[in-house]
Amino acid sequence: MPTSSKFAVAVHVLTLMAWADDEPLKSEQVADSVNTNAVVIRRMLCELAESKLVVSQSGSMGGSRLARQPEQITLLDIYQAVERRGVFSLHRHPPNRDCPVGVNIGTVLNEVLDEVDTAVERVLANITIKDVVSRLQPCVSTGPAKAVTKRRVVRKRPPVGKGPVLSARN
């Protein structure tokens, strides 16, 4: 069964914004880092803005940035902004009610899944975007245009036929 990657992408987006400090990032820059389409990023930014995690400004000098300091945004805040509660879900189709297991398995599993969700939320509540930034390992360069050596995200001149490349600079 497929799982959602929205949480992972949202953490990536907000971590990139924290890395960029107060510099607003264009959706194309963020999409390049996430390796997805800018439309996907813009949709996610709308969800994050509704939860007051990012602020955006349109226009040529616009972009998106964190609405709060990185130490004030927990992974639980992000999870609640982009995902429904429930790490796991029950059967897509109801089990056979004539089966002694099928008739009660939903009740039993709901109790277990509530415990799982509570445990996950407890862990996520104790990790901030600042913590994620501090856990990032130094990036290994895949070429001169993608070297990440400092803190401020900037656009570098892309190779011919390529989109903007992000790097970091102090």
pLDDT tens profile 87-130: 777 888 888 899 999 999 989 999 999 999 999 999 999 999 99
Contacts within 8 Å (CB) and 24+ apart, 88-96: 88/113, 88/116, 89/113
Judge if pTM exceeds 0.85.
Answer: no
Query: Between 84 and 98, whose confidence is greater?
Result: 98
d(CA 169, CA 111): 48
Class of domain 6-169: mainly alpha
Domains of the chain by residue range: 6-169
